[in-house]
Structure 1
Amino acid sequence: MTERLDRDINRIDFSAQEFSLRQFIDEHYQGKPMIVDLWNTWCGPCLSAHKEIEHSSEIPDNIVMLYISDTSSPIDQWHSLSHQIGGEQVRISSKDMQTIGELYGLNGFPSYIFINSRHDIIHKQVGFPGLHEYIRLAELIK
């Protein structure tokens, strides 16, 4: 069973059950463009990228920011950092994170998937592309 952890920030812990990214997106975000950010609490480059992104006012408001981390992140650290980061936060098993990586060809953190409103993948990559490129890709999916 999933647990909604906070009303202001959409935090859901799926770590005790199987998680399908495509199914989750299709069920909860129909018709919405999204940026999926695969991250973990122990990932320094992930945290640096989050700080850079949070100070930008150039990300279109209609884009859903979906942050996914796994059980390699201690739950207490995930609670704290996900609250600071905001957006839609999902915690999954390390096995499901590995499956996502294999399905989408992403083999490190941070990784990003830019998805348009029809849920077509427009771009995906490992590593933060830099704020300018991140904003350019966000503009492509808005």
Structure 2
Amino acid sequence: MDKILSHVELSTATDGKRFQDLIEEAILSKQVKRLKRFKPTTTDAAHAKRLKKEKQEAAEAEEAEEEKKREEANDPEDSLKQLIMARQKSRQEHMDSIINSIAERSKGPKRKRRPEMNEPSEEEFQKIQQKISKKKK
């Protein structure tokens, strides 16, 4: 039963009884023959032993994870990594502000143009031409 539980993905010791029932059905319907090694692995004691072992492994894994977290919190390399990341972020923000200011300047008003001169009306134009022609004579 231990081999079955280790080969079936995501199975746990609590699945042992369910797998045992399925295998017993298959044996009774003569789809599978009974092996001598199957009987001792399906007893209540064997099932309890698997559950106890699984709980112990889970507790060890939790303890190892907590230890790793404590080590990471005290790790000087981690603080150095955080300093480097913060510096990179500030540099990136600085470059972004430079790029934005350049973009703002290029969008801003271009060179000032001369104000458009109002053309004189036809009457005014005629008067000006007469003055000029009088001065030439």
Q: TM-score, normalised on structure 2?
A: 0.19
Which one has a bigger Cα radius of gyration?
2
Higher strand share: 1
Higher helix share: 2
Q: TM-score, normalised on structure 1?
A: 0.18
